[in-house]
Structures are given as structure tokens and as C-alpha cells.
Amino acid sequence: MRTVRPFLFVALVATAGAIACAGGPREKPIKTTPINKEAGSTEAARKFLEGRWALLSFDVFPPGAAPISVKGTGVLTYDDFGNLRAELRVDQPTADGLARVGIDTDQGVFSSDGRTIIDIPGKKLTYVIEGQPPAASGPLALSRPRYWEVDGDVLTITTRGDNGQPLSVAKWKKQP
């Protein structure tokens, strides 16, 4: 009987300990600060850019060549995840002119697509293309940041060369 008592004592202590200990949350909440949604914040810029934009005008200024006024139509879409898609449909003479300065189209269609990072102080959009090479070279290379300005419901996006001079200027109007 003496060998049963220590076993019984250990079993009673273990059972009492298990019953007495209440379970708690397995994960503790992480303390964060509220997202800044005020004017001038990244969140406010994302909300403004979000939606569909129609092309008003698009000009390309290739170094050492005559400027090209793009003849065609275009749509820019910015979603709530920071993805930017621009698609332009140009006429054949414009496609030929763009090809001469290193901007290829696919049967008159040029598009860029990727996630963007917004730099508020620099008024800059930078493409983040993961796992794929940049889709365009030359003046519209996706590795070049886009600089943006807003005037009412018109968004102007400028691509600049290494010397700071504009390589392209596109104006887009917000669609309802």
C-alpha cells in the first residue's frame, strides 16, 4: 500500500493543478497606432488615386529625338492594394514613332502593370515588379519613378530622365 500512496498523491496534485489553471489567450494582441488618413498622408493619396482614369494627353520627349505627341486612347486603373495598370492604344504612325525611341507596342497597345509605392514628400510613384523583368525600356522603363501632380480631377504623371528632364508627361482625368 505504501507504493500506491505516493502515486495517488502525485495524481491528486497534478489533477488539482490542471483544474486550478485557467487557460489564457494563446496570442497577445499587438499594439499599433491608428492609420493616418488625413490629407497629405499615404492613405489619403491611395484613396485619391484609387479608381479609373481616362487619358487626356500623352507626350514623350526622347533624348536626342523630336517629341512625340501620342495619338490614341488610354485607361489607368489604381486599386486599393496599390496596383497600377496603364493601357494605351495608339495609331500605327504613333506606334512606329515610339518604336524608333525604344518603346515597343504590341499591335499598337502599350501597357504597364505592377504594384506601386507612394512617396508623399517626393510626389513619386515607384513600380515594384516582383519576379519579372521590366516590361519597357527607354523613356518609359518601369524602373524609372513616376512623379505625380494633381489639379482638381486631373492627374499628371511625369517620367524623368537621369538629368531630371521630362521623358514623358501623361494627363489623366478621374472617371466617376
Determine the structural domain holding residue 115 and report its residue range. 42-174
Note the pLDDT of residue 88: 93
Distance CA 65, CA 12 (A): 90
Q: What is the pLDDT of residue 133?
A: 56
Q: Residue 168: inside a domain, yes or no?
A: yes
Instruction: Output the pTM of the full model.
Output: 0.71
CA–CA distance, 46 with 56 (Å, rounded to integer): 21
Is 98 a member of any domain?
Answer: yes
Residue that is written with C-alpha cell 525604344 in the block? 102
Q: What pLDDT digit, counting tens, does each position of 80-132 carry? A: 888 889 999 999 999 999 888 888 889 999 888 888 888 888 889 888 766 55
Averaged pLDDT score across all residues of the chain: 80
Q: What would the pLDDT profile of 1-56 be if each residue is shown by its tens digit?
A: 455 565 555 555 555 555 555 555 566 666 665 555 556 667 877 888 899 999 99
Are the CB atoms for 108 and 92 separated by under 8 Å? yes
Whether 12 is covered by a domain: the verdict is no
The tally of domains found in the chain comes to 1
Rounded to whole angstroms, the Cα distance separating 161 from 62 reads 9
Per-residue DSSP letter, 139: G
Residue at 72 is within a domain: yes
Residue 77 has pLDDT above 70, yes or no: yes
**pLDDT score for 28:** 65
Q: Which residue has the higher pLDDT, 164 or 37?
A: 164
User: Is 21 inside a domain boundary?
Assistant: no
Question: Among 19-23, 63-67, 136-140, which stretch is predicted with the lowest mean pLDDT?
Answer: 19-23
- Confidence (pLDDT) at 64: 84
**Long-range Cβ pairs for the range 40-45 (8 Å, 24+):** 40/120, 41/120, 42/118, 42/120, 45/118, 45/120
CA nearest neighbour of 58 among 15, 105, 6, 23: 105
Residue 156: give its domain's CATH number. 2.40.128.50
Q: Considering the domain boundaries, does residue 68 fall inside one?
A: yes
Tell whether 125 is covered by a domain. yes
Q: Are 110 and 88 in contact (CB under 8 A)?
A: yes
Residue 20 is assigned to a structural domain of this protein = no
Looking at per-residue pLDDT, the higher value among 9 and 142 belongs to 142
